[in-house]
């Protein structure tokens, strides 16, 4: 306890009892503000208590606390007293700077050019606030907000003591509000961090769930169910993009509008943003149609693989405690991560299924190739009057070329070569039909009748776009008489080394399977010892090199004439080597088949 002073009071520094009372009241008000800021109430409750204390301390009739929102560059009302529906006020950068640097209350009626311009631009807002003073609320150069105050009761003027007290109280209020803002920002950041952790965990779980699936249908259902659940949506659809439109890969809660497996033309898909934005522009979108009286809210993201849109992921109607709500930017970002993961998983599943299907086809082709090998001769017959050799090289595992030898009970040998239009499995199937049908008919021994009946069988067994070029000849091993029919096939060659003459076998008729009527002409030729017969498909003469040049019939003739004196196997080997060397690195585009026969 201090002792009273014995010094004589100086009249010039004497303080009146009224001023001492005001100072004590001010200190009491500051203490109340300190108590309010540490009471542990909510942000809004504390702000309302601060406003009431300030208004009550200085006998001010009306006021409001407005917080500055940096994102929208506006002052937004937090609490008010005596003012109904206080408005938001846009703040230009120069006004923000003026308020941020000011440390004292600003009189809106004073000739302050910056504030005068602001009042003139927003007269209705200031009229609604009934503002006389603006007290900046700033901490460390950061504008927190503004304390807007009307006139005092009785419209008495603000004294210098009032303004000084307001400045001090505003500093305390600024710190309190700033602390609440920082705590709120930290809480929001913590919430966002926890949400991101949860999203990452969810994406990890989704990855494990869909990664364990290799079939598209179960995977699509898992993806859409996870998307709906994680975004608190009520429905969703997963689309796959096809040439004809969007295929509904999976649907949840929207079965009537988007039935699974339904194919929807792009111009008929709703909402139109799926086609016009998500597919066309390869970007996501959020649609808040309920605000415009629509039926749903949407968030839609594209599924992109290697820069190409392969589908879309759509969720509808986010659910909250208050009802349906629009999807947020954060929802869209999370859905984007899920869509990226889903696109990769779906593409992997598709590739997995393609690999399985390819393996199945390859196994079936292996079986087909084995069957076709059994159809073709495994050895070439050798007789006292003729020797033969046959070669077949398919450009695929199975092919459409066919050759055969027919050994009769009589001393005769049949030579057959054929080429089915097309390649691969369809052609190989028709080859099987040809071989079985021909073997069943050939016992008649009559060439014309055999080929005529065979044509009718092939016509009925093959589609309209398929046909077969066919050559069939029978050599009498005793007389060396050769009777043949050419049904649209490449003309076989006959080379007579003794004279150097060439002859072809072109008589016959049209290709097998083109028409179900017609007759075939038989050509008869007398062969002599040393004569060389060459039956071939167009894969021999049309073998093409890298320059696009064909091997051609002239090269065949030249090689046969040059090697006619060699053993038949050597002739065949040289011909195969010549074709192979000519073609080089160029790919084989057609099946290659030929039969060599030399008369003894």
Q: What is the mean pLDDT of residues 154-180?
A: 82
Residue 2 has pLDDT above 50, yes or no: no
Q: Tokens representing 117?
A: 């311009």
Question: Is 588 a domain residue?
Answer: yes
- C-alpha 148/C-alpha 161 separation (Å) is 18
Same domain, 124 and 244: no
Give the pLDDT band of residue 321 (cuts 50, 70, 90): confident
The torsion angle over the Cα atoms of residues 206, 207, 208 and 210, rounded to 10 degrees, is 80
> Would you say 435 and 467 are in contact if contact means Cβ atoms under 8 Å apart?
no
9: in domain? no
Beta carbons within 10 angstroms of residue 351's beta carbon: 10
CB distance 272 to 289 below 8 Å: no
Residue 132 C-alpha from the chain's centroid: 61
DSSP 276: I
* pLDDT at site 127: 87
Residue 1 pLDDT: 35
The phi and psi torsions of 502 (rounded to 5 degrees) equal -120, 145
- Split into its structural domains, the chain has a count of 3
Say how many CA atoms lie within 13 Å of 207 toward its Cβ.
Answer: 11
pLDDT at 357: 81
Looking at the structure, do residues 290 and 393 belong to the same domain, yes or no? no
- For the segment 65-75, the average pLDDT, to the nearest whole number, is 89
Full DSSP string of 393-438: E-SSSS-SEEEEEEE-SSSEEEEEEEEESS-HHHHHHHHHHHHHHH
User: Which DSSP string do the residues of 213-268 spell out, in sequence order?
Assistant: --SHHHHHHHHHHHHHHHTTEEEEEEEEEETTEEEEEEEES-TTTS-TT-EE-GGG
Question: For 334, what's the count of Cα atoms within 13 Å in the CB-facing half-sphere?
Answer: 25
Domain contains 574 = yes
Do 450 and 520 fall within a single domain? yes
Handedness of CA 37, 42, 46, 47 (dihedral sign): positive
Angle made by CA atoms 318, 324, 327, in degrees to the nearest 5: 40
HSE (CB half, 13 Å, CA atoms) of 198?
A: 10
Same domain, 493 and 409: yes
* Residue 320 banded pLDDT, cuts 50, 70, 90: confident
pLDDT on residue 113: 65
Same domain, 177 and 313: no
Cis omega (within 30 of 0) for bond into 341: no
pLDDT (average), residues 311-330? 90
Q: Which pLDDT score, from 0 to 100, does residue 21 have?
A: 57
Mean pLDDT value of segment 575-596: 91
Mean pLDDT of the 519-547 span: 94
Q: Does residue 64 lie within any of the structural domains?
A: yes
Mean pLDDT value of segment 178-187: 80
Closest-CA residue to 370 (of 459, 432, 301, 417): 432
Contact 61, 131 (CB under 8 A): no
Contact 240, 246 (CB under 8 A): yes
User: What is the CATH number for 559?
Assistant: 3.60.40.10
* Alpha carbons 540 and 372: distance in angstroms, whole number: 20
Q: Are 485 and 471 in contact (CB under 8 A)?
A: yes
The span from the CA of 349 to the CA of 221, in Å, is: 13
Mean pLDDT, to the nearest integer, of 502-530?
Answer: 93
Enter the DSSP assignment of 590.
Answer: S
Does 466 score more than 60 pLDDT? yes
State the chain's mean pLDDT as an integer: 84
pLDDT of residue 590: 84
| pLDDT at position 37 over 90 | no
Confidence of residue 591 (pLDDT cuts 50, 70, 90): confident
- Residues 6 or more apart from 421 whose CB is under 8 A from it? 400, 427, 465, 466, 467, 468
Residue ranges making up the domain that contains 266: 213-352
3-state secondary structure of 206: helix
The answer to whether 316 and 287 are in contact (CB under 8 A) is no
* 148 and 217 belong to one structural domain: no
Do 220 and 260 belong together in one domain? Answer: yes
**DSSP code string of 80-95:** EES-SSPPPEE--HHH
Q: Which residues contact 503 (CB under 8 A, 6 or more apart)?
A: 493, 494, 496, 525
Q: Are residues 442 and 306 part of one domain?
A: no
Residues 507 and 525: their CA atoms lie apart, in Å, by 11
Q: For residues 576 and 391, is the Cβ–Cβ distance under 8 A?
A: yes
Q: Could you give the count of Cα atoms lying within 13 Å of 412 in the half-sphere of its Cβ?
A: 20
d(CA 184, CA 174): 15
- 229 with 176, same domain? no
Residue 242 resides in a domain: yes
Are residues 415 and 489 in contact, defined by beta-carbon separation less than 8 angstroms? no
- Tell me the pLDDT tens digit for each residue of 94-132: 888 888 887 788 888 777 767 788 888 888 888 888 888
Strand bridging mode 468-476 / 285-288: unpaired
> Worst-scoring range by mean pLDDT, 138-142, 361-365, 386-390?
361-365
Are 470 and 491 a contacting pair, CB within 8 Å? Answer: no
Whether residue 450 is found in the same domain as residue 577 = yes
CATH, residue 87:
3.30.450.40
In a domain, 69, yes or no: yes
On whether both 152 and 255 belong to a single domain, the answer is no
Residue whose structure tokens are 């049908």: 437
- Quick one: pLDDT band at residue 358, thresholds 50, 70, 90? confident
- Residue position matching structure tokens 């065979």: 454
Phi/psi at 421 (nearest 5 deg)?
-65, 140
Measured distance CA(345)–CA(250) in Å, rounded: 15
Angle at alpha carbon of residue 396, lines to 394 and 397, rounded to 5°:
90
Q: Which of 34, 21, 28, 54 is nearest to 133 (CA)?
A: 54
- Are 485 and 582 found together in one domain? yes
414 φ, ψ to 5°?
-95, 135
Within the chain, how many helices (H) and strands (E) appear? 14, 24
Could you tell me which residue, 27 or 426, shows the higher pLDDT? Answer: 426
Length of the chain measured in residues: 600
Residue 5: pLDDT band (50, 70, 90) is very low
Q: Is 387 exposed, middle or buried (0-12, 13-18, 19+ CB in 10 A)?
A: middle
Question: CA 541 → CA 508, 545, 549, 577, distances in Å?
Answer: 21, 12, 10, 14
For residue 203, tell me if it sits in a domain. Answer: no
Task: Look at residue 367 and tell me if it is in a domain.
Answer: no
């Amino acid at each position: 306890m201090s002792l009273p002073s014995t010094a004589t009071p100086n009249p010039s520094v004497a303080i009146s009892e009224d001023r001492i009372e005001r100072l004590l009241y001010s200190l009491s008000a500051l203490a109340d503000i300190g108590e309010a800021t540490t009471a542990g109430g909510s942000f809004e409750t504390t702000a309302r208590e601060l406003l009431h204390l300030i208004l009550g301390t200085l006998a001010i009739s009306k006021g409001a606390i407005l917080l500055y929102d940096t994102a929208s560059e506006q002052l937004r009302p937090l609490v008010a007293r005596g003012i109904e529906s206080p408005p938001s006020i846009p703040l230009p950068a120069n006004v923000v700077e003026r308020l941020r640097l000011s440390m004292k209350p600003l009189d809106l009626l004073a000739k302050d050019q910056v504030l005068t311009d602001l009042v003139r631009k927003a007269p209705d807002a200031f009229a609604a606030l009934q503002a006389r003073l603006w007290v900046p609320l700033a901490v460390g150069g950061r504008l927190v907000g503004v304390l807007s105050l009307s006139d005092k009761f009785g419209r008495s003027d603000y004294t210098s003591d009032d303004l000084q007290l307001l400045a001090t109280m505003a500093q305390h209020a600024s710190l309190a509000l700033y602390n609440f803002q920082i705590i709120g920002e930290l809480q929001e950041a913590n919430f966002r961090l926890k949400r991101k952790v949860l999203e990452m965990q969810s994406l990890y779980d989704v990855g494990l769930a869909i990664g364990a699936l290799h079939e598209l249908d179960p995977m699509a259902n898992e993806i859409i169910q996870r998307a709906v659940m994680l975004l608190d949506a009520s429905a969703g659809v997963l689309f796959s993009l096809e040439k004809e439109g969007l295929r509904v890969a999976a649907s949840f809660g929207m079965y009537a509008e988007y039935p699974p497996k339904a194919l929807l033309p792009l111009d008929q898909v709703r909402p139109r943003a799926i086609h016009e934005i998500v597919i066309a522009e390869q970007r996501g979108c959020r649609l808040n149609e309920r605000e415009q009286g629509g039926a749903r809210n949407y968030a839609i993201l594209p599924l992109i693989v290697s820069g190409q849109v392969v589908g879309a992921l759509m969720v509808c109607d986010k659910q909250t405690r208050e009802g349906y709500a629009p999807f947020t930017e954060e929802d869209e970002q999370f859905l984007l991560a899920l869509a990226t993961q889903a696109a990769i998983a779906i593409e992997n599943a598709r590739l997995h299924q393609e690999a399985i299907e390819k393996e199945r086809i390859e196994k079936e082709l292996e079986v087909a190739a084995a069957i076709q090998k059994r159809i073709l001769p495994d050895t070439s017959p050798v007789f006292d009057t003729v020797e033969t050799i046959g070669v077949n090289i398919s450009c695929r595992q199975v092919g459409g070329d066919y050759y055969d030898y027919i050994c009769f009970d009589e001393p005769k040998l049949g030579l057959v070569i054929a080429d089915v239009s097309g390649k691969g499995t369809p052609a190989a199937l028709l080859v099987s039909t040809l071989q079985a049908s021909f073997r069943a008919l050939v016992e008649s021994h009559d060439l014309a009748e055999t080929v005529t009946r065979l044509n009718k069988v092939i016509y009925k067994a093959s589609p309209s776009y398929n046909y077969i070029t066919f050559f069939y000849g029978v050599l009498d091993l005793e007389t060396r008489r050769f009777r043949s029919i050419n049904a649209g096939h490449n003309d076989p060659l006959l080379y007579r080394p003794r004279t150097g003459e060439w002859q072809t076998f072109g008589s016959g008729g049209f290709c097998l399977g083109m028409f179900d009527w017609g007759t075939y002409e038989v050509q008869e030729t007398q062969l002599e010892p040393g004569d060389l017969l060459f039956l071939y498909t167009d894969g021999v003469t049309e073998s093409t090199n890298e320059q696009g040049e064909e091997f051609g019939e002239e090269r065949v003739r030249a090689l046969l004439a040059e090697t006619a004196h060699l053993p038949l196997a050597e002739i065949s080997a040289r011909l195969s080597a010549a074709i192979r060397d000519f073609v080089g690195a160029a790919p084989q585009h057609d099946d290659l088949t030929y039969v060599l026969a030399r008369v003894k």
